[in-house]
Amino acid sequence: MFGRWERTIASFAKKASPARQLSGALRTGLICSLPVSLVLFATAGGAAESRDSAASKPEFGPHVLIFDPSMPAAEIQAQIDKVYAVEQKAEFGSERYALLFLPGKYHVDVPVGFYTQVLGLGASPDSVEIDGNVHADASLPRNNATCTFWRAAEGFSVVPSGGTMQWAVSQAVPFRRMHVRGNMVLHQNHGWASGVWMSDTLVDGNVDSGSQQQWISRNSEWGSWTGSNWNMVFVGVSNPPQGEWPTPPYTKIERTPVVREKPFLAVDAEGHWNVVMPTLRTDSQGITWHGGETPGQSIPLKNFYIARPEADTAESLNAQLSKGKDLLFTPGIYELDNAIQITRPNTVVIGLGFATLRPIRGTAAITTADKDGIEIAGLLLDAGPTQSPVLLEVGQEGSKGQHAANPICLHDVFFRVGGAGVGRAQVDLRINSSDTIVDHTWIWRADHGSEVGWDKNLSDNGLVVNGDRVTAYGLFVEHHQQFQVLWNGNHGRTYFYQSEIPYDPPDQASYTSAKGVDGWASYKVADGVTSHEAWGLGIYSVFLHNGVTLSRAIEVPHSPGVQFHHMITVALGKKGEISNVIDDRGGPTAIQPRVAPKVTEFP
């Protein structure tokens, strides 16, 4: 968001030595005299599968740390601090970590840095309790959290020191299946923040959004909510805040039409490791775990092939899929010379610690067949140096299957083009399969970092939807060079949309979608679509060059079945404008005085 392009990115090379030192310490088991049984080591044979024994722990490798409540708190704290020393400033770094807490109580402070996932391993969030701080802090000066990306807290309870948990974040930060036994603030001393996502979460006290520009909460509960800015969306929330759009800018959808919560790791009372596949819910409100556990099916971890970045290739991973295995990616960067091909129904592919898939030869990273029940969760897909036609393709072109009873689901699957290095992709995510559910994504063409520029990190579209009845919750799509979203299928639904259009078109001629139309609409519903609905959309501009404008933020056909609710546009930079919010409605943005047009209903 605004302000990213102003600051200097610290070179990750300066952080490489501590990361290597930490990895080495973990591999040799020297970190704080941690017992070998509690640090999971790499095996010489490469990716390892879990042994069929309740007593044995899976071999996740050196970047997954498993904590046991019997360990001294000082030992746990020392490991957490060493991970944070690597990840605190490593916005485009190469290290990835997952911190796993077995059921029990812990007295530690957990700062959550880049590419760090903190997970509780209980069937309920209350199975793991952290008494102390768990916090995400602003990564830029002056309490600026607009670049506090790529980190996660999932599946545990927190008793925050002082009574309030700080979670100052922006895009690609899942906060799922959490219980905050106190209050929660979504900012750091009211500095800038541009986030993000909460689901299946209970906060006993107040949630203060403060300076957050936007936020989506799905199927969550709290004592109270305070604060608003531009676009705050509540879906399936049992106690949403009082007030109505546009003042305050609250969009409230009473019940969530259809969703399956994200699969999660859990260890049962006998020590068995499983991946829990939550039950599909329709017309739901509130959290899943009021009864103590999230209802669902437990899949033994032995059914998963545990992938390792130093050992696995697309060929080895596809071989495991062909044997009927599911996939669990341990933290790291996987350079792929071909696409991972998911062909079986009900295949589960999950990542720990922001496991990153990077196609290096111009292929997709993942393709799927048009099959029921495929689950993909917790991955970062990073475009490689040779342009890929697509990074993730769900179903083949022309897919005709119907999957309403057992939909394909994408949870916390993130996309990046450039920023960490050369990256190019024509389309990031293309959905051909009908009834697909997108449950939180950030699809980002980088606006800062390495190899960033109009002729460098190339990407036409973030999301293209060809299937019917596709539903998206928490859709963040930014900076692509044509339509950010192109929706061709019928009966699509979007609950919350956040988008910055590209900063860097060098001139209007380079940024023109049709005769007489300046720029490319951020959200485009194709002319032939007769049914589409969206709630809570915020679209923003930060043009860096003079003489560049956008005619309309949202472009849709005029059909009674195409309906949009609660839209806002804001100019964050001093150049150019967005001339209308949706088609010819809304009027232009302005900086002096600030004008942020809103449209409540369309048509």
The pLDDT tens digits of the residues spanning 425-455 come to 999 999 999 999 999 999 999 999 999 999 9
Sign for the pseudo-dihedral over CA of 244, 245, 248, 253: positive
Using pLDDT thresholds of 50, 70 and 90, give the confidence band for residue 78. Answer: very high
Do strands 281-284 and 256-259 pair parallel, antiparallel, or not at all (unpaired)? Answer: antiparallel
pLDDT at res. 12 = 30
Q: Which of 137, 90, 91, 148 is nearest to 111 (CA)?
A: 137
Same domain? 213 vs 341: no
* pTM of the predicted protein model: 0.91
d(C-alpha 227, C-alpha 241), whole Å: 9
d(C-alpha 547, C-alpha 531), whole Å: 35
- Please report the beta strands in 126-280, taking only residues with DSSP state E, as ranges in sequence order: 128-131, 134-135, 151-154, 157-159, 164-166, 175-176, 179-180, 183-185, 197-199, 202-208, 214-218, 221-226, 231-235, 250-253, 256-259, 264-267, 273-278
Is residue 282 a part of any domain in this protein?
Answer: no
Going from the C-alpha of 85 to that of each of 18, 65, 74, the distances in angstroms are: 8, 15, 16
pLDDT at res. 57 = 83
Is residue 389 a part of any domain in this protein?
Answer: yes
Tens digits of per-residue pLDDT, 521-530?
A: 999 999 999 9
Same domain? 469 vs 558: yes
> Measured in Å, how far apart are the chain's first and last C-alpha atoms?
29
pLDDT at res. 49 = 36
Orientation angle between helical segments 16-28 and 73-87, nearest 10 degrees: 150
pLDDT at res. 29 = 34
Q: Are 210 and 191 in contact (CB under 8 A)?
A: no
d(C-alpha 370, C-alpha 403), whole Å: 9
- What are the φ/ψ torsions at residue 227 (nearest 5 degrees)? 100, 150
Going from the C-alpha of 250 to that of each of 161, 496, 529, 541, 596, the distances in angstroms are: 30, 11, 28, 22, 16
Tens digits of per-residue pLDDT, 170-223?
A: 999 999 999 999 999 999 999 999 989 999 999 999 999 999 999 999 999 999
Specify the 3-state DSSP secondary structure of 186.
coil
The encoded tokens of residue 138 equal 């602003």
- Identify the residue with better confidence: 377 or 49: 377
Single-letter amino acid code for the residue at 310: E
CB count, 10 Å around CB of 455? 8
The residues with which 477 forms a beta bridge, in sequence order, are 443
Using pLDDT thresholds of 50, 70 and 90, give the confidence band for residue 75. Answer: very high
Q: What domain count does the chain have?
A: 2
We report the CATH number of the domain holding residue 397 as 2.160.20.10
pLDDT at res. 37 = 32
pLDDT at res. 56 = 72
pLDDT at res. 28 = 31
Tens digits of per-residue pLDDT, 366-423?
A: 999 999 999 999 999 999 999 999 999 999 999 999 999 999 999 999 999 999 999 9
Tens digits of per-residue pLDDT, 103-127?
A: 999 999 999 999 999 999 999 999 9
Specify the 3-state DSSP secondary structure of 76.
helix
Looking at the predicted structure, is the pLDDT value of residue 41 above 70? no
Same domain? 238 vs 349: no
Looking at the predicted structure, is the pLDDT value of residue 576 above 60? yes
Single-letter amino acid code for the residue at 52: D
The encoded tokens of residue 24 equal 């080495």
Q: Considering 219, 238, 259, which residue would you say is the last residue of a domain? A: 259
The encoded tokens of residue 168 equal 């100052």
Is residue 276 a part of any domain in this protein?
Answer: no
d(C-alpha 312, C-alpha 351), whole Å: 14
**Mean pLDDT of all residues belonging to the chain:** 92
Same domain? 549 vs 443: yes
Same domain? 243 vs 349: no
Single-letter amino acid code for the residue at 594: R
- What are the φ/ψ torsions at residue 25 (nearest 5 degrees)? -65, -40
> Which of 375, 500, 555, 577 is an active site residue?
500
Q: Which of 402, 404, 405, 383 is nearest to 392 (CA)?
A: 383
pLDDT at res. 25 = 40
d(C-alpha 353, C-alpha 410), whole Å: 17
Q: Considering 259, 290, 310, which residue would you say is the last residue of a domain? A: 259
The encoded tokens of residue 232 equal 């705050």
Single-letter amino acid code for the residue at 353: G
Task: Residue 405: give the domain boundaries.
Answer: 328-602
Looking at the predicted structure, is the pLDDT value of residue 43 above 90? no
d(C-alpha 94, C-alpha 152), whole Å: 17
Using pLDDT thresholds of 50, 70 and 90, give the confidence band for residue 31. Answer: very low
Share of the chain above pLDDT 70, in %: 91
pLDDT at res. 593 = 87
The encoded tokens of residue 39 equal 């640090």
Is residue 317 a part of any domain in this protein?
Answer: no
Do strands 273-278 and 296-300 pair parallel, antiparallel, or not at all (unpaired)? Answer: antiparallel
Is residue 287 a part of any domain in this protein?
Answer: no
Burial class (CB in 10 A: 0-12, 13-18, 19+), 490: buried
Same domain? 223 vs 340: no
Looking at the predicted structure, is the pLDDT value of residue 597 above 50? yes
d(C-alpha 437, C-alpha 395), whole Å: 13
d(C-alpha 243, C-alpha 101), whole Å: 39
- For the question of residue 500 being annotated catalytic, the response is yes
Using pLDDT thresholds of 50, 70 and 90, give the confidence band for residue 46. Answer: very low
Same domain? 153 vs 251: yes
Beta carbons within 8 Å of 44's beta carbon, 6+ residues apart: none
Same domain? 239 vs 126: yes
Is residue 315 a part of any domain in this protein?
Answer: no
Using pLDDT thresholds of 50, 70 and 90, give the confidence band for residue 340. Answer: very high
d(C-alpha 296, C-alpha 382), whole Å: 31
Using pLDDT thresholds of 50, 70 and 90, give the confidence band for residue 531. Answer: very high
Same domain? 204 vs 93: yes
Q: How far is CA 301 from the centre of its chain?
A: 24
Do strands 326-329 and 304-307 pair parallel, antiparallel, or not at all (unpaired)? Answer: parallel
Average pLDDT estimate for 338-365: 98
Q: Considering 215, 239, 259, which residue would you say is the last residue of a domain? A: 259
Looking at the predicted structure, is the pLDDT value of residue 317 above 50? yes
Same domain? 334 vs 454: yes
Is residue 195 a part of any domain in this protein?
Answer: yes
d(C-alpha 64, C-alpha 387), whole Å: 32
Tens digits of per-residue pLDDT, 150-166?
A: 999 999 999 999 999 99
Lowest mean pLDDT among 4-13, 232-241, 494-503: 4-13
Same domain? 181 vs 88: yes
Average pLDDT estimate for 526-552: 98
Single-letter amino acid code for the residue at 270: E
**CA angle, corner 138, sides to 136 and 142, nearest 5?**
155
Omega into 603 within 30° of 0, i.e. cis?
yes
pLDDT at res. 514 = 96
The encoded tokens of residue 51 equal 């042994």
Is residue 518 a part of any domain in this protein?
Answer: yes
Same domain? 483 vs 598: yes
Burial class (CB in 10 A: 0-12, 13-18, 19+), 11: exposed
d(C-alpha 540, C-alpha 133), whole Å: 34
Q: Which of 410, 551, 407, 539 is nearest to 468 (CA)?
A: 407
